[in-house]
Amino acid sequence: MVMGEKKVTVALVGNPNAGKTTIFNNLTGARQHVGNYPGVTVEKKEGYRKFNDKEFFIVDLPGTYSLTAYSLEEVITRNFIVNDKPEMVIDIVDTSNLERNLYLTVQLLELERPAILALNMIDVANSTGLKIDDSKLSKYLGGISVIRTNGVGNEGMENLLESISKTNNNRNFSSFRLNYGKEIEAAIQNLEPLLTPLYKNIQFPTRWLALKLLENDTDIIESVQGLEGAQQALQMSNELRRELLRELGEDVEVFIAGQRYQFVGKVYQHAVDSRNVNAETISDKIDKFLTNRVFGLPIFFALMWLVFNLVFTLGAIPSDMIDAGFGAFGSYLDGIISDGPLKSLIVDGVVGGVGSVLVFIPSILLLFLAIAILEDTGYMARAAFIMDRVMRRFGLHGKSFIPLLLGFGCSATAMMGTRTLENPRDRIITMLVSPLMSCSAKLPVYTILIAAFFEEKIAGNVLFSIYLLGIILAMIMAWVFRTTLFEGESEPFVMELPPYRVPTFKSVLIHMWERSTLYLKKAGTIILAASILMWFLTTYPKDIEYAKDYDGLLAMAEEAYSEQVVKEVLLPLSIEELSENAKVATLVDVIQQEEESFLEQTKELEESSSEYSVLMAAKEQKKQQLEKENTEVYSYAEKYITLTQSLEENKANIGNEKSGENLEKSYAGQFGKAIEPAIRPLGFDWRIGISLVSGVTAKEVVVSTMGTIYSIGDGNENASSMTKALQKDEHMNPLVAYALMIFVLIYSPCLAALAVMKRETNSWKWPAVSFVYSTTLAWIVTFLIYQGGKLLGFGS
Ligand code: GDP
Ligand code: MG
């Protein structure tokens, strides 16, 4: 076959932050696709590049420091190299941290695929005065091609492509062999013959396989176990391990790692001249300050405080605009669609439900923007380091801090973020407690309830108290889990602190966008579906038996009204219709318009505000004026208006009572009634019960459900009307509202988070534990707060 026709697979490998993605983007341009590795959510980026008539298929593998089986990223990377057999592996190293990066290089070479070493960030290395002898480096590493690159400056890409096609043509990849010392080498020789027969089933190089068995690599042992002839090899490797332990005086894997480090140190010493390097980099200088024992924590908290304030104050501005937009859109639709189930579905169900959730997009975008900046500058890793001392007291690992922080954005993201933790016990504890961090989906619930029941002065403190309670509970629960389910110390803190960088605008935006789309998709799918389902469950069945004859009541009200109009207005004026007396009819119109415009102007105002009283006085004055001008008929016009108004009120009350009964007898209502006894001690009625149950699909749905429940009948869906509806509700008061916020904070993670947890732990056990423990905890804490509050006299 002619080379030019064959697809050449090129894998990019390297430490996190070495610049893989940057180079990947340089190489592939727009021809790329982002997906996930099968079964897991580690990102998989693939793209194409044509060069010298050859089509390269380029894969950006997950960043990793090593190729042991500690993390998913490591296993994915090595399996890809072994199973997919890329024609070329490009090892991208951060040249300014060459020694550390070479540790991975050595392990890559042991996988015996053709490879190229890309000395990336060469600009940084040069600026610090590092001098590298490329040919010596190549010699020590078995003759590998060495190419200097600058990902950001897009330099060296041509050379890289050139080198891929050349090396590939000649197939002259080197065989590299690190000598592990006579004991290990002897053991490898003993083991290799037993492993050769396995090669047809598992295509790892046999020398590497031998090393991994000696290292007791669990992933490899598992994949070998079932194979024919493997038992003998495994038995042999166990014996050898015991022997080696005696001979070497330390664990084999520790010894092997040590040999690798030694080798890398030697290569570095010979190939790199670091005499001119400033011992203290700028990053070191910044770190002296930011990770200082004394200032570290206060700076950290100050930054977090700043982030939260920015997120919530800046975010409020566009949120209000979106809210107003949806309100207007709802009214517009209300006007153009004719009455009936379709209108109710669209206006109440879809626009109301989804709209009440989309309002929070700006805050969420800002939160993710802040997290992306913290990550990309390198501060996030420092924060983990600073927090390690604190977290450790509660049985958490410093690295747990990052997923916990992500938890403020989204619990599902937080669970994915636990991947940075190597120890499975640390991971599970972190997954169990991270939903206690108040995720951004819970924010809408708090905002609505706080706006309705707490004065603006204390709103910030109320909100803060809930976030704080979440953090405290997370710490307590982590400690509880650590001392009961998972006894033992957490792993010691080993984490590379990447150098500080000025984040690029593009990468921050991409990071922010990737996370936010998750939320948007949720609003578009889960929340839309939940809104429609809730609308259905709250509107049907239609053919219920009403306790009262509402239609009869309506007719009676109309009749009484007509009688009174005749008696008190028409008869005294000796007319049969109001229109017969033009003067009165006009006056009625004028006064009504006056009242309407007053209502319109004061819609957003508090009755106690001075603006309100000014408008009120102006209206009264206008009416007095009218009275003077029309002394003889004014009282009749006013009488007529009062009667009409009270009829409207009567009708509205009857309508509300009817829709209230509708709701109560709907499917959702029946269900809510059924669970009401369980939540009554928390101060919740059946309507809150429905909202909470529906909120398990996604926490935002609590709001959209309340939106649907509390606004059925008045057709108006914006947040301020919901606030009013909540205030009017006799069952609600500040204590119930607070209890509700607490319950929403703690109870079961949403379906998405539970699903991610299942995928990450590969069993339904942990999502089940999470659901049960958090809902129980929510009940207990809410019970204490509600009943305690009532004892203290807050309950009214
Ligand atoms: P990955 O984690 O390996 O995918 O690394 P990224 O491609 O995301 O790069 C990490 C950071 O290093 C980004 O902020 C890049 O802009 C930056 N970067 C990448 N290559 C270079 C380089 O050659 N020189 C400099 N100065 N910065 C680089
Ligand atoms: Mg990357």
Ligand 1 binding pocket (C-beta < 6 A) is 14, 16-22, 63, 120-121, 123-124, 150-152, 376, 501, 504, 507
Q: Tokens 């021809």: give the residue.
A: 31
**Whose alpha carbon is nearest atom 17 of ligand 1?**
19
Cα 89 to averaged position of ligand 1 atoms, centre (Å): 18
Instruction: Determine the atom of ligand 1 nearest the C-alpha atom of 155.
Output: 23
Cα 669 to averaged position of ligand 2 atoms, centre (Å): 49
Parallel, antiparallel, or unpaired: how do β-strands 7-14 and 88-94 relate? parallel
Give the pLDDT score at 713. Answer: 47
In a domain, 479, yes or no: yes
Cα 98 to averaged position of ligand 1 atoms, centre (Å): 14
- Ligand number nearest CA of 24 is 1
Mutate to test the pocket of ligand 1, among 15, 22, 43, 120 (most ligand atoms within 8 A of CB): 22
Number of other residues whose CB lies within 10 A of the CB of residue 141:
23
Q: Are 208 and 110 in contact (CB under 8 A)?
A: yes
Kindly indicate the confidence band of residue 643, based on its pLDDT and cuts at 50, 70 and 90: very high
**Whose alpha carbon is nearest atom 2 of ligand 1?**
17
Q: What are 12-36's pLDDT values in tens digits?
A: 999 988 999 899 999 998 677 766 6
Instruction: Determine the atom of ligand 1 nearest the C-alpha atom of 23.
Output: 7
CATH number at residue 99: 3.40.50.300
Give the pLDDT score at 717. Answer: 42
pLDDT at 417 over 80: no
CA distance 440 to 12: 35
Give the pLDDT score at 312. Answer: 63
Mutate to test the pocket of ligand 1, among 126, 130, 152, 514 (most ligand atoms within 8 A of CB): 152
Instruction: Determine the atom of ligand 1 nearest the C-alpha atom of 15.
Output: 3
Supply the range of the domain harboring residue 211. Answer: 182-273
Supply the pTM of this predicted model. Answer: 0.56
If you compute the radius of gyration of the chain from its CA atoms, what whole number of angstroms results? 35
In a domain, 143, yes or no: yes
pLDDT at 777 over 80: yes
What angle in degrees, to the nearest 10, is found between the helix axes of 686-694 and 734-746? 30
**Whose alpha carbon is nearest atom 14 of ligand 1?**
503
Token couple for 42: 């580690």
Number of other residues whose CB lies within 10 A of the CB of residue 266:
11
Residue 403 sits in the same domain as residue 440 = yes
Instruction: Determine the atom of ligand 1 nearest the C-alpha atom of 24.
Output: 7
Cα 309 to averaged position of ligand 2 atoms, centre (Å): 30
Residue 520 sits in the same domain as residue 555 = no
Of 108-122, 128-142, 401-415, 437-451, the one with minimum mean pLDDT is 401-415
**What single DSSP character describes residue 229?**
T
Between 5 and 770, residue with greater pLDDT: 770
Kindly indicate the confidence band of residue 524, based on its pLDDT and cuts at 50, 70 and 90: low
Give the pLDDT score at 722. Answer: 73
Cα 17 to averaged position of ligand 1 atoms, centre (Å): 6
Task: Say how many domains are in the chain.
Answer: 4
Kindly indicate the confidence band of residue 469, based on its pLDDT and cuts at 50, 70 and 90: very high
**Whose alpha carbon is nearest atom 6 of ligand 1?**
19
Of 54-63, 369-378, 660-669, 703-712, the one with minimum mean pLDDT is 703-712
Helix/strand number for the chain, H first, E second: 36, 9
Give ∠ CA 756-758-764 in degrees, rounded to 5: 155
Instruction: Determine the atom of ligand 1 nearest the C-alpha atom of 18.
Output: 3
Between 759 and 442, residue with greater pLDDT: 442
**Whose alpha carbon is nearest atom 12 of ligand 1?**
19
In a domain, 745, yes or no: yes
Token couple for 106: 């050595």
- Strands of 54-60's sheet, edge to edge? 32-36, 43-51, 54-60, 7-14, 88-94, 115-120, 145-148
**Whose alpha carbon is nearest atom 22 of ligand 1?**
121
Instruction: Determine the atom of ligand 1 nearest the C-alpha atom of 122.
Output: 23
- Ligand number nearest CA of 90 is 1
Token couple for 788: 């305690």
CA distance 43 to 542: 48
Residue 403 sits in the same domain as residue 516 = yes
Cα 27 to averaged position of ligand 1 atoms, centre (Å): 14
Q: What are 702-728's pLDDT values in tens digits?
A: 887 787 777 554 444 445 667 777 888
Cα 378 to averaged position of ligand 1 atoms, centre (Å): 12
CA distance 86 to 23: 17
CA distance 165 to 170: 9
pLDDT at 311 over 70: no
CA distance 408 to 538: 31
In a domain, 32, yes or no: yes
Q: Are 59 and 12 in contact (CB under 8 A)?
A: yes
Instruction: Determine the atom of ligand 1 nearest the C-alpha atom of 60.
Output: 4
Cα 377 to averaged position of ligand 2 atoms, centre (Å): 14
Give the pLDDT score at 569. Answer: 87
Number of other residues whose CB lies within 10 A of the CB of residue 637:
25
Mean pLDDT across 203-214: 90
Give the pLDDT score at 775. Answer: 96
In a domain, 694, yes or no: yes
Give ∠ CA 771-774-776 in degrees, rounded to 5: 100
Kindly indicate the confidence band of residue 154, based on its pLDDT and cuts at 50, 70 and 90: very high
Residue 342 sits in the same domain as residue 484 = yes
Kindly indicate the confidence band of residue 431, based on its pLDDT and cuts at 50, 70 and 90: very high
Cα 152 to averaged position of ligand 1 atoms, centre (Å): 7
- Ligand number nearest CA of 17 is 1
pLDDT at 272 over 60: yes
Listed residues 616, 632, 661: the one ending a domain: 661
Kindly indicate the confidence band of residue 357, based on its pLDDT and cuts at 50, 70 and 90: low
Give the pLDDT score at 697. Answer: 77
What does the CA dihedral 453, 459, 465, 471 come to, rounded to 10 degrees? 110
Please, what is the average pLDDT of the chain? Answer: 84
Instruction: Determine the atom of ligand 1 nearest the C-alpha atom of 149.
Output: 23
Between 702 and 304, residue with greater pLDDT: 702
Q: What are 74-91's pLDDT values in tens digits?
A: 888 998 998 888 989 999
Instruction: Determine the atom of ligand 1 nearest the C-alpha atom of 124.
Output: 26
Q: What are 579-589's pLDDT values in tens digits?
A: 888 888 898 99
Cα 25 to averaged position of ligand 2 atoms, centre (Å): 10
Instruction: Determine the atom of ligand 1 nearest the C-alpha atom of 501.
Output: 14
pLDDT at 365 over 60: yes
Q: What is the percent of the chain where pLDDT is above 90?
A: 30
Q: Are 272 and 133 in contact (CB under 8 A)?
A: yes
Cα 195 to averaged position of ligand 2 atoms, centre (Å): 35
- Ligand number nearest CA of 504 is 1
Cα 177 to averaged position of ligand 2 atoms, centre (Å): 29
Q: Tokens 């013959």: give the residue.
A: 193
Cα 22 to averaged position of ligand 2 atoms, centre (Å): 7
Cα 22 to averaged position of ligand 1 atoms, centre (Å): 6
Listed residues 661, 685, 706: the one ending a domain: 661
Q: Are 96 and 216 in contact (CB under 8 A)?
A: no
pLDDT at 278 over 80: no
**Whose alpha carbon is nearest atom 25 of ligand 1?**
121
In a domain, 175, yes or no: no
In a domain, 102, yes or no: yes
Cα 397 to averaged position of ligand 1 atoms, centre (Å): 27
Number of other residues whose CB lies within 10 A of the CB of residue 533:
17
Find, among 762, 646, 744, the residue nearest to 696 by Cα: 744
Burial profile 349-383: b = 16 or more Cβ within 10 angstroms, e = fewer: bbbbbbbbbbbbbbbbbbbbbbbbbbbbbbbbbbb
Give the pLDDT score at 393. Answer: 82
Residue 399 sits in the same domain as residue 522 = yes
Give the pLDDT score at 789. Answer: 93
Give the pLDDT score at 320. Answer: 77
Cα 62 to averaged position of ligand 2 atoms, centre (Å): 7
Kindly indicate the confidence band of residue 772, based on its pLDDT and cuts at 50, 70 and 90: very high
Give the pLDDT score at 39. Answer: 55
Instruction: Determine the atom of ligand 1 nearest the C-alpha atom of 150.
Output: 23
Give the pLDDT score at 535. Answer: 79
Burial profile 53-79: b = 16 or more Cβ within 10 angstroms, e = fewer: ebebbbbbbbbbbbbbbbbbbbbbbbe
CA distance 67 to 204: 13
- Ligand number nearest CA of 156 is 1
Give the pLDDT score at 5. Answer: 52
Residue 292 sits in the same domain as residue 253 = no
**Whose alpha carbon is nearest atom 19 of ligand 1?**
19
In a domain, 613, yes or no: yes
Mean pLDDT across 260-273: 91
Residue 631 sits in the same domain as residue 686 = no
Residue 83 sits in the same domain as residue 97 = yes
CATH number at residue 248: 1.10.287.1770
Kindly indicate the confidence band of residue 2, based on its pLDDT and cuts at 50, 70 and 90: very low
Cα 17 to averaged position of ligand 2 atoms, centre (Å): 7
Instruction: Determine the atom of ligand 1 nearest the C-alpha atom of 14.
Output: 3
CA distance 591 to 629: 13
Instruction: Determine the atom of ligand 1 nearest the C-alpha atom of 376.
Output: 14
Give the pLDDT score at 601. Answer: 84
Q: What are 452-468's pLDDT values in tens digits?
A: 899 888 888 898 899 99
Cα 314 to averaged position of ligand 1 atoms, centre (Å): 30
Residue 306 sits in the same domain as residue 422 = yes
Q: Are 113 and 84 in contact (CB under 8 A)?
A: no
Cα 16 to averaged position of ligand 1 atoms, centre (Å): 9
- Ligand number nearest CA of 23 is 1
Q: Tokens 């109009």: give the residue.
A: 565
Instruction: Determine the atom of ligand 1 nearest the C-alpha atom of 121.
Output: 23
Residue 365 sits in the same domain as residue 427 = yes
Give the pLDDT score at 715. Answer: 43
Mutate to test the pocket of ligand 1, among 17, 91, 123, 496 (most ligand atoms within 8 A of CB): 17
Q: Are 739 and 453 in contact (CB under 8 A)?
A: no
- Ligand number nearest CA of 13 is 1
- Ligand number nearest CA of 65 is 1
pLDDT at 102 over 90: yes
Residue 427 sits in the same domain as residue 532 = yes
Token couple for 348: 């109440």
**Whose alpha carbon is nearest atom 24 of ligand 1?**
121
Residue 20: HSE in the Cβ half-sphere, 13 Å Cα cutoff: 23
- Ligand number nearest CA of 94 is 1
Residue 158 sits in the same domain as residue 55 = yes
Q: Are 298 and 337 in contact (CB under 8 A)?
A: no
**Whose alpha carbon is nearest atom 13 of ligand 1?**
19
Listed residues 239, 273, 307: the one ending a domain: 273
- Ligand number nearest CA of 18 is 1
Residues with CB under 5 A from ligand 2 (ion): 21
